[in-house]
A and B are shown apart, each in its own frame.
Chain A
Amino acid sequence: MSGTSLVTARERALAVLGGEPDDATLRRYLHGIAGVDAVGLEQRAAGLGTRSIKTTSKRRALDTIISLIDLTTLEGADTPGKVRSLVAKAVNPDPADATTPRVAAVCVYGDMVPFAVDALGAAHGDPDAGLISVAAVATAFPSGRASLDVKLADTAEAVAAGADEIDMVIDRGAFLAGRYGLVFDQIAAVKEACRRPDGSSASLKVILETGELATYDNVRRASWLAILAGGDFIKTSTGKVQPAATLPVTLLMLEVVRDWHLATGQRIGVKPAGGIRASKDAIKYLVTVAETVGEEWLQPHLFRFGASSLLNDVLLQRQKMSTGHYSGADYVTID
């Protein structure tokens, strides 16, 4: 698992900020970042969405999408049985076609991690090795409204249960109130809680919940803040708030990731989540990633789709391409 150690992350942040990460310093830094040209951003995103991806390119794109999916179930009604069937689908997305790649990870609530780990068995591991990771949402997902102690306990428990990746939510209330230092400290503390006794660390995805941040400027600031505080991934949304992931917001976050890479050489991942249901939309995201940060980012440690129904649509498209006729919902599983 990738994951920078806390010490270096903090040192890097101090070097970039030129001071302790308190409210005043962060405010000076984040508000010093140039504003977002909203019209230009949306136009650029719309332009990237017009590429025509057909035949063999489409085939490759569909397989890439599957290998980048965090197959997700985050319902109050989740049961161990539901998680087991989710895992079965993650391991073998299309039982009728053995060439179908596996998804990158399954994403579940913290208390479901043991069931996911158990169901995965030997298939549990690094997506780079063709295995499947377990991601857990933590820190009082989806609202993030809990004390730091609760958030840290939530995180530590999921990591101890075998989660490879932690999807945390930031405290949007504190962020919007300008208490950047608090948000920074919380992310840094959760990052610390991701450590395992053997010294390795679960990868940390920081959910910005862009639908609640109101402006593109805020999204850009939150992205910088999350990266400075040590996030390995920045993720758009919980999927519980509308609007969830949109192409312009994802493009903006990718631009921050690109700028950070140019400045420090460190590669941060991006995960759009929520509302991406059609293969056609997902392909637009692939184009956007390739054109913004480069094709190198199209791998499970640097880009993910947080999705549930997207996988079925991709499978239908794959079936259409292999059989030559349109498939239907009766030929994929019911989620």
Chain B
Amino acid sequence: MSRLAVPKTYKLYIGGAFPRSESGRTYEVVSSSGAFLANAAKASRKDARDAIVAARAAVPAWAGATAYNRGQVLYRIAELLEGRRGQFIAEIEEAEGVSRAAASAQVDESVDRWVWYAGWSDKFAQVAGNANPVAGPYFNISVPEPTGVVAIVAPQDSSLLGLVSAVAPALVAGNAVVVVASERFPLSAISLAEVLATSDVPKGVVNVLTGAPAEIAPWLASHADVNALDLVGAADLDWISLEIEAADTLKRVLRPESGPDAAAPALGRISAFTETKTVWHTKSLR
């Protein structure tokens, strides 16, 4: 007896829920050979706005969690990702038209990168921060603090690895993230959102939008409640205009990167989304 196919509805991931686009729009996602794969939600500016509201609400608790706890939560994402390897490999094979071995390597690399960044969570402050020598009986300590809401245009030429490489470092310091997934390969991004939803990441800490970055990115760049903008996947957009718009509200901006080394793991991607707070404290006097 033949079974009816049960195709999956790919939706957005905003505030811990999976809504359809407010606009009701979808677009067709096709494989590398042009075959229909699924309909993905095409996010509008209002979805972006809702995502930013959700992210802003999530910042205090995520930024206030201990670095150790954040590391544990991030590591757990890697654990769950590992458990769903099969699904991701199949998705990447189909969407990107690569060999099983290549898809498998991409998933491995993604998991390893989560683990790598998770490990930095309670260690990067030791490297990025400092105890400054001062001419007086004071401790003078600089510590990196999360900047707040980070909007990301994910690398466009990769299903999973690019997304992970951009999202994970922004989370490490305690930022909340709104990410626009690859327009051509959005399905793994939503599957990753399912992993996030079932791991211990608080709702709103990561929000995933699918659709046209060219349409959504300007709204993220100009939004006054976004603190930083990662344009790593925006090489094909008018990213100079985005940078100018971001400057109006003094956002931190990372510029586009392309090629196989785009968004390579680096401590710089973590510290890019931090603000250095320096405090003075008296040394004990006797």
Contact = CB atoms under 8 A, between A and B. Distances in A.
B56 A329 contact: yes
Contacts of A326: 49, 52, 219, 222-225
Interface centre among B52, B222, B224, B226 (most CB of A within 10 A): B224
Interface of A: 324-331
A181 to B, nearest CB: 49
A142 to B, nearest CB: 28
A322 to B, nearest CB: 13
13 contacts: A324-B222, A325-B223, A325-B245, A325-B248, A326-B52, A326-B219, A326-B223, A326-B224, A326-B225, A328-B223, A329-B225, A330-B225, A331-B224
A328 B55 CA distance: 12
Contacts of A329: 56, 225
Interface in B163-203: none
Interface in B237-269: 245, 248
B28 to A, nearest CB: 28
Closest 10 CB pairs of A and B: A328-B225, A325-B222, A328-B224, A326-B223, A327-B224, A326-B49, A331-B224, A326-B224, A325-B223, A329-B225
Q: Provide the main secondary structure of the chain B interface.
A: helix
B218 to A, nearest CB: 9
Interface string B35-62: 0000000000000010010001000000
Interface of B: 49, 52, 56, 219, 222-226, 245, 248
Contacts of B245: 325
Contacts of A327: 224-225
Contacts of B222: 324-326
B145 to A, nearest CB: 16
B147 to A, nearest CB: 13
Contacts of A324: 222
Contacts of A328: 56, 223-226
A331 B219 CA distance: 17
A325 B49 CA distance: 10
A5 to B, nearest CB: 49
A95 to B, nearest CB: 16
Interface centre among B56, B222, B225, B248 (most CB of A within 10 A): B225
A325 B225 contact: no
Contacts of B219: 325-326
A283 to B, nearest CB: 16
Contacts of B225: 326-330
A188 to B, nearest CB: 47
Contacts of A325: 219, 222-224, 245, 248
A328 to B, nearest CB: 3
A330 B251 CA distance: 13
A316 to B, nearest CB: 9
Nearest to B226: A328
Interface centre among B56, B223, B245 (most CB of A within 10 A): B223
A328 B56 CA distance: 10
A325 B242 CA distance: 13
A33 B248 CA distance: 60
Contacts of B52: 326
A328 B52 CA distance: 10
Nearest to A325: B222
A97 to B, nearest CB: 14
